[in-house]
C-alpha cells in the first residue's frame, strides 16, 4: 500500500500525468522542457508499524512537508510507503525515473526493516542511497523468539553498505516492557555518519547513550518511541539536510506543482 501525490509516476510512465502549471509569482520564464529528462531526486518516506497516512502521523506530516517543497513531479519523486510494502517495486520505480539523488527516511520498522529492504533492491539495480535518515530504527526479526529484540535494548542495526551518508535520532526513554526501542547503528567504511542524536531524560542519557563527546544529546523525558517521529526539530533537520544536497526547484510556469493529496 502506498500513499502519495496525485497521479504518481509508474515504471511505464516515469514523469506521471501532467497537471496545470502555476504562474510564476515573480514573472520568471518557464524552464526549458529538456530539464525534465531525468528526475533529480527520489525521496522515500517509510512509516512504522501500525502507522497510516494522516495528519496524526508524524512521519506523514514530514512527507507532506517534503512533497510540498519538492513539488515538481516531472523532476522529483516524493513517495510515502508502509514498512511492509513492496520495496522491490518502489526501487524499480526509482530506477525507471532516472533519479540522480536517492534519499530514504524511515521510522521504527520503516527504518530498521523498510530502508534496509529498499537499499537492497536499489543495489540490485545498481543504485546507491545518497542520504539515509533513521528515526529510532527497529529491525524486524523473522522468528518469534528473536522478535523480542525489538522491545529490548542492546540490539544493533546494520546500515546497508550502499548508503553514502546516514543520520540517526534515537530515544532512550523506554516506557514499558512492550514499548519498542531504537537500536544502535553500525556502519561500513563506505558510509559517512553525519549525525547521531540521542533524546531522553538526563538519567537515561547517562545510562544508555554513548559518551557526550561522540554524539549529540538532548534532554527531554517526554520523548518516547511512539512520539519521536512527531518531533518538529527532527523534521526541520531532515528537510534542511536534503535541501543542502538536492535543492527543490524554484517555482515557475514550467513546473508541475503537485501538492500532496489530503
Q: How many CB atoms lie within 10 A of CB 49?
A: 16
Question: How sure is the predictor about 253, in pLDDT bands with cuts at 50, 70 and 90?
Answer: low
Q: At what angle do helices 115-124 and 87-97 cross, to 10 degrees?
A: 50
CATH number at residue 203: 3.40.50
Helix (H) or strand (E) holding 146: helix 144-147
257 found inside a domain: no
Helix (H) or strand (E) holding 241: helix 232-245
Question: How sure is the predictor about 37, in pLDDT bands with cuts at 50, 70 and 90?
Answer: very low
Q: What is the pTM of this model?
A: 0.79
Check residue 71 and give its pLDDT.
66
239 found inside a domain: yes
Q: Which of 204, 161, 153, 160 is nearest to 181 (CA)?
A: 153
- CA count, 13 A, side-chain hemisphere, 133: 22
Helix (H, G, I), strand (E, B) or coil at 25: coil
80 found inside a domain: yes
Q: Could you report the per-residue pLDDT of 166-200, keeping only the tens digit for each?
A: 999 999 987 666 667 777 888 999 899 999 999 99
- For residue 73, what is the DSSP state? T
**The domain containing residue 171 runs over which residues?**
2-7+35-245
261 found inside a domain: no
| Largest Cα span, the chain | 62
211 found inside a domain: yes
Number of domains in the chain: 1
- Residue 221 CA to chain centroid, in angstroms? 25
177 found inside a domain: yes
Question: How sure is the predictor about 1, in pLDDT bands with cuts at 50, 70 and 90?
Answer: very low
83 found inside a domain: yes
142 found inside a domain: yes
Is residue 70 within 8 A of residue 76, CB to CB? The reply is: yes
Check residue 148 and give its pLDDT.
64
Amino acid at each position: 500500500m502506498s500513499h502519495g501525490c496525485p497521479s504518481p509516476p509508474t515504471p511505464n510512465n516515469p514523469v506521471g500525468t501532467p497537471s496545470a502549471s502555476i504562474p510564476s509569482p515573480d514573472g520568471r520564464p518557464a524552464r526549458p522542457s529538456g530539464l525534465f529528462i531525468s528526475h533529480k531526486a527520489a525521496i522515500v518516506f517509510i512509516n512504522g508499524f501500525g502507522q497510516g497516512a494522516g495528519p496524526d502521523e508524524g512521519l506523514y506530516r514530514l512527507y507532506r512537508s517534503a512533497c510540498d517543497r519538492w513539488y515538481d513531479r516531472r523532476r522529483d519523486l516524493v513517495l510515502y510507503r508502509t514498512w511492509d510494502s513492496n520495496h522491490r517495486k518502489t526501487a524499480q520505480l526509482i530506477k525507471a525515473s532516472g533519479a540522480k539523488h536517492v534519499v530514504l527516511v524511515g521510522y521504527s520498522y520503516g527504518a530498521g526493516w523498510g530502508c534496509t529492504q529498499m537499499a537492497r533492491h536499489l543495489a540490485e539495480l545498481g543504485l546507491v542511497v545518497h542520504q539515509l535518515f533513521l528515526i529510532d530504527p527497529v529491525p524486524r526479526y523473522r522468528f518469534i523468539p528473536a522478535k523480542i529484540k525489538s522491545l529490548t535494548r542492546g540490539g544493533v542495526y546494520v546500515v546497508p553498505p550502499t548508503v553514502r551518508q546516514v543520520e540517526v535520532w534515537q530515544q532512550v526513554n523506554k516506557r514499558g516492557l512492550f514499548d519498542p526501542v531504537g537500536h544502535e547503528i553500525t556502519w561500513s567504511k563506505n558510509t559517512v555518519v553525519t549525525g547521531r542524536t540521542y533524546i531522553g531524560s538526563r538519567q537515561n542519557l547517562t545510562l544508555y547513550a554513548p559518551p557526550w563527546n561522540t554524539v549529540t544529546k538532548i534532554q527531554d523525558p517526554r520523548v518516547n518511541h511512539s512520539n519521536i517521529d512527531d518531533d518538529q526539530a527532527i523534521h526541520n533537520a531532515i528537510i534542511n539536510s536534503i535541501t543542502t544536497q538536492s535543492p527543490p526547484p524554484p517555482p515557475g510556469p514550467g513546473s508541475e506543482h503537485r501538492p500532496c493529496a489530503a
